Amino acid sequence: MNSNDFGPKVSIIIPVYNGSNYLREAVDSALDQTYSNIEILVVNDGSNDGGKTERIAKSYGNRIKYLFKKNGGVSSALNLGISNMTGEYFSWLSHDDVYYQNKIEEQITFLENFTNDDVIIYSDYELIDGNSEFIRNVRLKKVAPKKMLTALLYESFMHACTLLIPQKCFQDEKPFNESLKSTQDYDLLFRLAMNYNFVHLDKILIKSRQHSRQGSRTFGRSHKKESNDFFISSIRHLERKGIEYFVNNSKSLYFATLSYTLFKRGYYYPTPFSVLMSIKTFGFEDISRAARTVRKSSKHLLR
């Protein structure tokens, strides 16, 4: 991609449902991008707020593309946006979040360092409250692309709105799962990580809003069930995958560590499943590793 002519079109998709309180701030941040080759699609997911959300969206005229659909959840709104986008890259902006002015420009510039278009960029972010006041910055640890699948299950560290995803990903892989209401982002990330390299751009590029009406908070028990189902299906997938996804660690050790992590995070249903996977995948290399550890420990104690 090292070319002076590299300037792909980026489609910023903003799904919204009854979002008149924050929508204008989100759209303004998309329009204020320092990178000019963009299009902005606002997808109204059947808002029933007396036309407030629609009036805000339509006030931008032809500076955005406005789509209205029957309510079906954020995944269906994103998928409608993706099917109507004309850009080579997709960037999601939640209606209650805000982009830094240089979000797209920084990511496109960073992409020039790579020789292929199989790269997905993600970055750090800032947390703000319902009044747009600063809470804290979130700096992410660098994760090697081959470790991304396993890392995604350890903790929910990645923010989907920081991503810049090649449109071609949605030709090879189904977009968002419309049956999911609150885990659609990590479901997609996990599937994409099987075939694409995720690369971290060490810059804060969005403001993520924390407030009481967020989906993961309002869905309650259904969010917990979705999360449990996601972990169980992902563990099953990893158990079937080759050793390349575990890099220098055995499957057994990985699943044992994951069991502890899931339990600490309060995901109790997938925890015993991960324990069973640890036992099932325990093999000779694990016995050898344990023996080496015991020998090293014994030598240290006898000094």
pLDDT digits (tens, 9 = 90+) for 247-264: 455 778 888 888 988 998
Query: Which pLDDT does position 298 carry in this prediction?
Result: 44
Residue with tokens 């029933």: 48
Parts of the chain with a pLDDT under 50 = 243, 247, 290-291, 293-294, 297-303
Q: What is the distance between the alpha carbons of residues 11 and 14, in angstroms, rounded to a whole number?
A: 10
Query: Which pLDDT does position 212 carry in this prediction?
Result: 74
CB hemisphere CA count around 66 (13 angstroms): 15
In terms of DSSP H, where are the helices of 42-174? 52-58, 74-84, 103-111, 148-154, 169-172
Q: What is the distance between the alpha carbons of residues 167 and 172, in angstroms, rounded to a whole number?
A: 10
Give me the phi and psi of 166, to 5 degrees please.
-60, 140
Q: What is the distance between the alpha carbons of residues 175 and 90, in angstroms, rounded to a whole number?
A: 11
Within a 10 A sphere around the Cβ of 217, how many other Cβ atoms?
12
Which helix (H) or strand (E) element contains residue 295? helix 284-302
Query: Which pLDDT does position 4 carry in this prediction?
Result: 62
Query: Which pLDDT does position 301 carry in this prediction?
Result: 39
Query: Which pLDDT does position 230 carry in this prediction?
Result: 92
Span 49-60, pLDDT tens digits: 999 999 999 999
Asked if residues 206 and 100 have their Cβ atoms less than 8 Å apart, the reply is yes
Q: What is the distance between the alpha carbons of residues 70 and 47, in angstroms, rounded to a whole number?
A: 8
Which helix (H) or strand (E) element contains residue 204? strand 197-209
Query: Which pLDDT does position 154 carry in this prediction?
Result: 84
Query: Which pLDDT does position 245 carry in this prediction?
Result: 55
Q: What is the distance between the alpha carbons of residues 77 and 46, in angstroms, rounded to a whole number?
A: 9
Query: Which pLDDT does position 202 carry in this prediction?
Result: 97
| Residues forming beta bridges with residue 199, ordered by sequence position | 121
Query: Which pLDDT does position 176 carry in this prediction?
Result: 94
In terms of DSSP H, where are the helices of 241-283? 251-264, 270-280
